[in-house]
Amino acid sequence: MTILQTRNLKKIYGAGENAVHALAGVNLQVEKGEFVAVVGTSGSGKSTLLHMLGGLDRPTNGTVTVDGKDIFSLKDEELTIFRRRKIGFVFQNYNLVPVLNVYENIVLPIQLDGNSPDAAYVESIIETLGLKSKLQNLPNNLSGGQQQRVAIARALAAKPAIILADEPTGNLDSKTSQDVLGLLKITSQKFVQTIVMITHNEEIAQLADRIVRIEDGLIVAR
């Protein structure tokens, strides 16, 4: 089952002589449960693509379909709700709430959406990511790798259609990066969770099910 599809996705920043064609017509299809790495050099359009996939910014042209929904046919408020329910984000900087403990951070998006967490599912995520003994800790008492594991748990807990990760190991040393990526891969398989991860690190990309290469705003191999 296709969970994510882009058609002729284009993004132009600026206009006239200063126009930057950040995405030049991207066609990408991702199946449910796939763990896809998007690789490319700096400036190739990776972050722009991720922003479009997550509905954080509107394209100049083309469509993005997530879980059967043409997301840019939605009005801004509808898109915000869709994003909260269907898309999980994992960023380089973890983006945890400093005054909430680990457990509170993990279930926060679910509560913000007015729902109560699926306790057994959340428990299973916490165990898989090795966070059981850290649930009462505040984020600043955790290492970078632990904080990123919390961010991954938070993204998974809301059962999104897709998780989008932008350089998730960008702030981690190489050993920790491998550990975190290994866990990301295990969770993708165990919870049949679709993940699209951006990285400029080839070693990290090798752990994904599939590598998509982007150059000058175009997919060059898939």
Ligand X SMILES: Nc1ncnc2c1ncn2[C@@H]1O[C@H](COP(=O)(O)OP(=O)(O)O)[C@@H](O)[C@H]1O
Cβ at position 98, least distance to ligand X in Å? 27
State the binding partner of 40 from ligand X, Mg ion, none, CB within 5 to 8 A by kind.
ligand X
**Nearer residue to Mg ion within complex by CB, 46 or 83:** 46
Asked whether position 187 contacts ligand X by CB under 6 A, the answer is no
Of the candidate spans 39-47, 80-88, 104-112, 145-153, the one that interacts with ligand X by CB under 6 A turns out to be 39-47
Q: Of residues 28-67, which lie at the interface with Mg ion (CB under 5 A)?
A: 46-47
Cβ at position 19, least distance to Mg ion in Å? 19
Cβ at position 33, least distance to ligand X in Å? 25
Of the candidate spans 28-36, 45-53, 68-76, 132-140, the one that interacts with ligand X by CB under 6 A turns out to be 45-53
**Nearer residue to Mg ion within complex by CB, 67 or 167:** 167
**Nearer residue to ligand X within complex by CB, 33 or 170:** 170
Give the pairing of strands 69-70 and 61-66. antiparallel
Task: Give the interface with ligand X as residue ranges (CB under 6 A).
Answer: 13-14, 20, 22, 40, 42-48
Task: Give the interface with Mg ion as residue ranges (CB under 5 A).
Answer: 46-47
